[in-house]
Chain A
Amino acid sequence: MQLKMWILSGTAIALWLTPLVALDTKIGWHKSIQGLSLVAAISCALGAGNIARELSEQEEIEAFKTRAITADVVDEIATSAYISQQQRQQEAEQILAPPGEDVEEVRKALEAIYSAESEESEVTTIVTTSEPNPLDKSLYAEICEARKVNKSTTWIVENILKMKGRKFAEGKVKLQQLLSQFESDL
């Protein structure tokens, strides 16, 4: 199509200029050839112009298509980015803010554990107060010896009761229990 346009353009210019320059106007058939070639040149130029117009319209349509495709791609990317951002935000919200029901459940579970532990400790206290076992007696004896040599409560808990670190508080309570148990017996 493009080649046809170029050929027609060249032919139009050739048919316009060549007979006017080359042919003699005084000869009759030369004159008629000039006229014919001018008419042919006009038709060639108009044909080439029409083809060029069609091609330029096609180019414009292609440019529109390219722009539309680019806009579509950009829009798709923006939409997917927005959706993924929303999903991540929702996940973060779910992680950071647990619903109220869970808190209530956790509170109940903690209450249950706390009450079970307190009941257990009460039972142990009752058992220990009622029947002092030989191990407790030996421990108490050791504690008394340590207290005589002015050892601190911390030292007694850590070295005699062997309750260090996280069990230290428990060890202190046990020490108090032992002391209160045996000193009340005395």
Chain B
Amino acid sequence: MMRAMYLANYFVAGCIASSFLGWIASLHPMSARAIAFLVAALAICWGLCWLLDFSVSSWLKISVSNFQAVLLAVLAMAIIGAGVFLCS
């Protein structure tokens, strides 16, 4: 139960961070560009990690399934956070 709560809280923190990035992007066109650049860089990193999951998981010393779960959770956090910010 506590383990689930701990993972859920970090997931919510990721979602809020994603919304916060959206809020920063809404402040000024320059900040929007900077955030777009950051999001693009993160997306490239995410894609590379997804493609090189076996190598990266052995480098991080975690199992491949755990690493893939983390990648999917990051993607879900980004989508939910951005979705909440854009819909509000």
Among A1-53, those with CB < 8 Å from B are 5, 8-9, 12-13, 16-17, 20-21, 25, 31, 34-35, 38-39, 41-42, 45-46, 48-49, 52-53
- The residue in chain B whose Cβ has the minimal distance to the Cβ of A39 is B20
Smallest CB–CB gap between B27 and chain A, Å?
7
Interface residues of A toward B: which range? 20 to 34
A42 touches B9 (CB 8 A): no
Interface membership of B2, Cβ < 8 A = yes
CB-defined interface of B2-28 with A at 8 Å, one 1/0 digit per residue?
110110111011011101100110110
A49 touches B84 (CB 8 A): no
Complex-state Cα separation, A13 to B84, whole angstroms: 12
Complex-state Cα separation, A38 to B81, whole angstroms: 11
B13 touches A42 (CB 8 A): yes
Complex-state Cα separation, A5 to B2, whole angstroms: 10
Enumerate chain A residues within 8 angstroms of B15, measured Cβ to Cβ: 16
Interface membership of A76, Cβ < 8 A = no
CB-defined interface of B60-88 with A at 8 Å, one 1/0 digit per residue?
00000000000000000000000011001
Residues A53 and B6 in contact in the complex (CB < 8 Å), given A21-B88, A25-B26, A31-B27: yes
Enumerate chain B residues within 8 angstroms of A124, measured Cβ to Cβ: none
B23 touches A48 (CB 8 A): no
User: Which of the listed residues A16, A31, A46 has the most CB atoms from chain B within 10 Å of its own CB?
Assistant: A16
Interface residues of A (CB under 8 A from B): 5, 8-9, 12-13, 16-17, 20-21, 25, 31, 34-35, 38-39, 41-42, 45-46, 48-49, 52-53, 55-56, 59
23 example contacts (A-B, Cβ-Cβ < 8 A) are as follows A5-B5, A5-B9, A9-B5, A9-B9, A12-B16, A16-B19, A20-B84, A20-B85, A25-B26, A34-B23, A35-B23, A38-B20, A39-B20, A42-B13, A42-B17, A45-B10, A45-B12, A52-B9, A53-B2, A53-B6, A55-B6, A56-B5, A59-B3
